[in-house]
A and B are shown apart, each in its own frame.
Chain A
Amino acid sequence: MNQMTFPDHRPLTTAPQGAGLVPDPRQAPAAAPVMNLTDVSVFYGSYEAVRNTTMPVHTHQITAMIGPSGCGKSTVLRSLNRMNDLIPGARVAGGVTYHGQDIYERDVDPIQVRRRIGMVFQKPNPFPKSIFDNVAYGLKVNQIRDDVAGRVEQALRGAALWDEVKDKLKTSGLALSGGQQQRLCIARTIAVQPDVILMDEPCSALDPIATSKVEDLMHELAGQFTIVIVTHNMQQAARVSHHTAFFTAEVDANGVRHGRLVEFSETGRIFTNPVDKRTEDYITGRFG
């Protein structure tokens, strides 16, 4: 008779098992947060997609945004570097400050904002250019002309991609695998040395091995950059982030759905001892 191997019979919750998985904030957020959201609402035309979000983004830490689909977490993320400007009809109300300055003030140039607050997208989107040119693109945009090759190498090393591509820098970025393409996009982003990196579900198109590489990378990058990540994967939020914001979708009295921030706290706290019932239901997999 076969020896049955019993699978792990722990309940299928997505909460981390044991405190060991929860990263300790490596440095207490003693300094002022690099970004602050105050009563941020985002509209698409007359539709209010997200209501009244207030949360900080702490310096050199990883902040995760989690929540069900349609809860507005990506929308909030995109409001942090004015990417919503590219969507016709999108409008942001409330205050988003970066080092104390409101980035939605009239005389703020979104280009200046995006040069300091970079973004990595859900789907790897390398340019149809060579690997080298992909990374060098941001340098060209920002008119950095000294030691381009060195900066490209440094960025590719920073994105843990250098050893895999150092012999084929001239080949197209599109010839890489999905996981490599995403790390190429991260290299492209860090090459211009931004202050904050926004990541919009950066691993959702990747397999588990590529995902773990990107997560390791995030840990390394957090020493240098402030990272905000949107993820559907709660274990990922638990594994990588220091702070977590839980969003949900609500239906108001008129039957209109909109996203809302439910709870913002240290990640360990959100996953082990959430204040709000909705957070607890979501992270333990119980709904309604």
Chain B
Amino acid sequence: MTVAPPRPTAPLDLTRAALPATRRWRNTVATGGMVAALALAAVPLALICYQVLLKGAGSISWEFLTEDIPNSARRAGGGIAPAIVGTLVITGTAALLAIPLGVLGAVYLNEYGKSGPLAKFIRTMADVMTGVPSIVMGLFIYVIMVIPLQQQSGLAGALALACLMLPVVIRSTEEVLRLVPDDLRQASAALGARRWYTIVTVVLPAAVSGITSGAMLAVARAAGETAPLIFTTGIVYQSNWSLSGANTALPALIFKNASEPFAAANGRAWGAAITLVVLVLAATVIARLISGRFAVKDR
């Protein structure tokens, strides 16, 4: 014989009001706190976008995007084309150098080295490199490349930016690879696949979306850097599509023009700021579209 559960004596009250008051206000306070934190975090972001658009939108025109930089910052007119070209060439080259190297490094750390002494050493060095100020990277390339060759160049700038991006790519990619379930590696191994084949056909495709995020974060950071480029690329007023020879970039142009007292220079800096934000946004969107073609949907 089973014992019947005790019959409730009062009518059941399942409304929120029946919960103890402390539980109710704690929930309210916690929810309110989270909303407030989100709002606070969004304020500077919104203000930056607003300010950049407000001050810079006026200077954007076809001529602004396509003409050479005037030799004198105080002169109105002219454009910022050489800086756009420089940013594309230098950041693009840096990404081509750092992303494949960084992803392969992360594959070594997570799939082969694991917790071996060499992997631990590389991991620590990558962490240390993440903390190295960007100007130190610039100085490093200046000393080992620009001084011996007696030549500033886009390539030198790209190398400095690549040094900056590499540890970010390695560490973010490794974190993403760690999230790929081991079940998948085992399933592949049980079918007779070698390790490299499993990595190329199963592990990397499963992680491609996260790898792209990490890589684009690194690209965005590098695209906005001024310090590593000061010694390494120099300054030019005409577009230079090649990696050799001095070059310039948008952050450097912003730095130079924003520190001038002239209205024309300041307007040019704001316009360049918008251009830089839009370029980084466009690069991110394009990378997402490309990785979306490789990524596998869950549904």
Contact = CB atoms under 8 A, between A and B. Distances in A.
Interface of A: 81, 83, 86, 88, 111-112, 114-115, 118-119, 121, 123, 125-130, 137-138, 140-142, 171-172, 174-175, 185, 188-189, 192
B108 interface: no
A188 B298 contact: no
Most B CB atoms within 10 A — which of A138, A141, A142, A172? Answer: A141
B183 A123 contact: yes
A83 B190 CA distance: 7
Contacts of B114: 88
The interface size bin for chain B is: 20 to 34
* Chief secondary structure at chain B's binding surface: helix
A175 B299 contact: yes
A128 B184 CA distance: 9
B191 A189 contact: yes
B297 interface: yes
Given A81-B190, A111-B192, A192-B191, A141 B197 contact: yes
A86 B191 contact: no
Contacts of A86: 185-186, 189
Contacts of A174: 298-299
A128 B193 CA distance: 16
B148 interface: no
A128 B192 contact: no
Nearest to A112: B192
Contact of B190 (A119, A123, A126, A127): A119
A94 B122 CA distance: 38
A111 B195 CA distance: 10
Contacts of B49: none
Nearest 6 A-B pairs (CB), nearest first? A115-B192, A125-B183, A119-B190, A138-B191, A128-B296, A141-B193
Contacts of A138: 191-192
B4 to A, nearest CB: 15
Interface string B176-205: 000001011111111111100100011001
B184 A125 contact: yes
A30 B265 CA distance: 93
B206 interface: yes
**Max chain A C-beta neighbours (<10 A), residue from B181, B188, B189, B190:** B190
B294 to A, nearest CB: 11
Nearest to A133: B296
A141 B205 CA distance: 16
B298 A114 contact: no
Contacts of A189: 190-191
Interface string B101-124: 000000000000010000000000
Most buried by A among B114, B181, B197, B297: B297
Interface in B245-271: none
A121 B186 contact: yes
Most A-side CB within 10 Å, residue of B114, B185, B193, B299: B193
A141 B298 contact: no
B176 to A, nearest CB: 14
From A138, A142, A185, name the one whose CB has the most chain B CB atoms within 10 angstroms. Answer: A138
B189 A83 contact: yes
Nearest to B182: A86
Given A86-B186, A121-B183, A125-B186, A137 B191 contact: yes
A141 B190 contact: no
Contacts of B194: 111
B207 to A, nearest CB: 10
Contacts of A118: 190-191
A83 B192 contact: no
Contacts of B197: 141
Given A114-B191, A137-B191, A83 B206 contact: no
17 contacts: A81-B190, A114-B189, A114-B190, A118-B190, A119-B186, A121-B186, A121-B190, A123-B183, A125-B186, A127-B184, A128-B205, A128-B206, A129-B205, A130-B296, A141-B191, A141-B192, A142-B192
